[in-house]
Structure 1
Amino acid sequence: MDEATPLFAIAVAAELAGMHPQTLRQYDRLGLVSPTRTAGHSRRYSMRDVVQLREIARLGAEGLNLEGIRRILDLENDNRVLRARVRELETALADELLAKPGRRVFAAGSEGEVVTLRAGTRAQKANQLVVWRPLRRS
């Protein structure tokens, strides 16, 4: 069972979130939290929904109105989706590089830009770090 599994009826979710069930219905109408519906059209909340309800309560206690809270939640959800997509693309890239070793090599240039290198070559170092330690005399 994961955090997205719809388990809780509205009364249980409201108690877990420390809210009144009518508040959860209002948040559903406003699109702040969208629980899963059963065949009988009753709401089922997941643990992720309960955490989001607690976040709504926290943001409201800090003085944000519901529209501000909705915008923050939308941005956080977009951020979560984009991070998952980045991880997916990084995994695909790593798999591709492992499947075809030596095809392309990249390095960071002195200004932070990406430099493409031929396989088997090294990036030229523009800066070198030298650590100097004086001799200790006993």
Structure 2
Amino acid sequence: MTPRGFPHDDDAAVFVISVAAQLAGMHAQTLRQYDRLGLVSPSRTRGGGRRYSARDIARLRTVQRLSQEDGISLAGIQRILELEHEVSRLEERVEVLTAELERARLERSAAARVFAAGRAGDVVAVRAGERPSRTLSDSRALVVWRPRA
């Protein structure tokens, strides 16, 4: 639990291996083994000591559940975790692309507004790619349309 007034960061490496093992409900040697296998890679201090984050603890619990409850091998668990990471990365990419697409759609709709000047100097909106109405054509109105690059 984070003390009041301090920001909560799931990625802050704050737990030594003994505390992380206790929080994850496993032996410290198991954490070392998972680190060697690359299942959970904690941060390191300058002296080489492991420091685990809340996210690392959650991952340790996931590895333990998959191993003990679901009977999945450590190699299988590693592949599952890799695929979950890939899915998260792709979901983030989809969000970025969706935002870019929406932005482009808005720009396109704004660029689609075209105006014509009438004989009396009035300004009339017309659709892009279309000629002004007959009354404007008779008045020799000028339509300027410049698509955005």
TM-score over 0.5 for the pair: yes
Counterpart-to-counterpart distance in 2, 1:9 and 1:63: 28
Percent identity between the two aligned chains: 52
| Paired residues for 1:6-85 under 5 Å | 6-61=13-68, 62-85=70-93
Regions of 4+ moved over 4 Å: none
Distance in 2 between residues matched to 1:8 and 1:103, nearest whole Å: 55
Aligned residues: 107
Q: Which letter does structure 2 place at the counterpart of 1:97?
A: R
Instruction: Provide the C-alpha distance between the structure 1 equivalents of 2:78 and 2:128, rounded to a whole number of angstroms.
Output: 49
Amino acid at match of 1:64: I
TM-score, scaled relative to structure 2: 0.64
Q: Deviations over 1:26-62 (max 9, x none)?
A: 0000000111112221111111111111010110111
Distance 1:92 1:2 in 2: 29
Of residues 95, 101, 114, the one that matches 2:103 is 95
CA positional deviation for 1:98: 2.9
Give unmatched runs, 5+ long, in structure 2. 1-7, 113-126, 130-149
The range that moved more, 81-90 or 95-104, is 95-104
Q: Within 2, Cα distance between the matches of 1:119 and 1:17?
A: 62
Q: Quote the Cα distance in structure 1 between the aligned partners of 2:22 and 2:100.
A: 42
CA contact (8 A) 1:102 1:119 kept: no
Structure 1: distance between partners of 2:79 and 2:11: 21
C-alpha spacing 1:25/1:98, structure 2 compared with 1 (3 Å): same
TM-score by length of 1: 0.69
Query: Structure 1: where are the runs of 5+ without partners?
Result: 105-117, 121-138
Cα contact 1:35–1:49 (8 A) shared by 2: yes
